Homo-oligomer: A and B are copies of this chain.
Amino acid sequence: MTLAEKAYDSLRRDIVSGALKPGAPLRMAQLSQRYDMGFSPLREALNRLQAERLVTSVALKGFSVAPLSMDEMWDATNTRVLIESRALRLSIDLGGDEWEAGIVGSLHALLLQAARGTVTEEDARALESRHHAFHAALLGACNSGWLLEFFQRLYLESERYRHPMLAPRPGEPARDVQAEHEALAKATLARNGDLACALLADHYRRTAQRLESLMAPVAAAE
């Protein structure tokens, strides 16, 4: 693995996780020290991330972490529903045994990790990774590279918003996300496209709504 790839992975993780805050300027000297490498691999990584809209840049003034906003979150959510609904219907039409096995398997892995609870940082990473794997498995048979690419882009983007929500606030009615995942898998495996897409849209819109109610006080406090 080259240094530029390491830089890309590290920067991406730190931006998505919020360790580098939205809007924060990314100075070469600072990054060079933080990740212990020269300017070249960092600039390559930053250019890739810019193309993916995770960082912004102005010529001769450098890079910054791309800002977040509620408008953008709703835009990403709605576009996600459009893209993934299509991909899910295509998968339901085209998917074979292997696809079904992937869904069942990744759902099982996700439920195991969720039941285990999130105690360590490592747990959080595993849960996130299995959550991603499950949603990717649902769409895996759609046979469209472009839909999958856009799914990845939007998944990453929404992860930026989801991250601050990971710690559930006390006193809130706990939402059974895993039950939603199970229902979604069941409808999909039953090849019920309409129901599956409705559940998928609900799943994302509910997350967005909770995010909005969670972020509103934060934004007001700033």
Please report A residues at the B interface, Cβ cutoff 8 Å: 1-2, 4-5, 40, 43-45, 47-53, 59-60, 72, 75-76, 78-79, 82-83, 86, 143-147, 149-150, 154
Contact = CB atoms under 8 A, between A and B. Distances in A.
B149 A53 contact: yes
**From DSSP, what is the main secondary structure of chain A's interface residues?**
helix
Contacts of A50: 48
A183 B1 CA distance: 53
Question: How many copies altogether?
Answer: 2
Contacts of A40: 40, 43
B147 A79 contact: yes
Contacts of A1: 59
A51 B47 CA distance: 9
Given A43-B44, A47-B44, A47-B47, A86 B82 contact: yes
A78 B83 CA distance: 12
Contact of A75 (B43, B47, B146): B146
A44 B41 CA distance: 9
Nearest to A49: B51
A207 to B, nearest CB: 17
Nearest to A154: B146
Contacts of A59: 1-2, 5
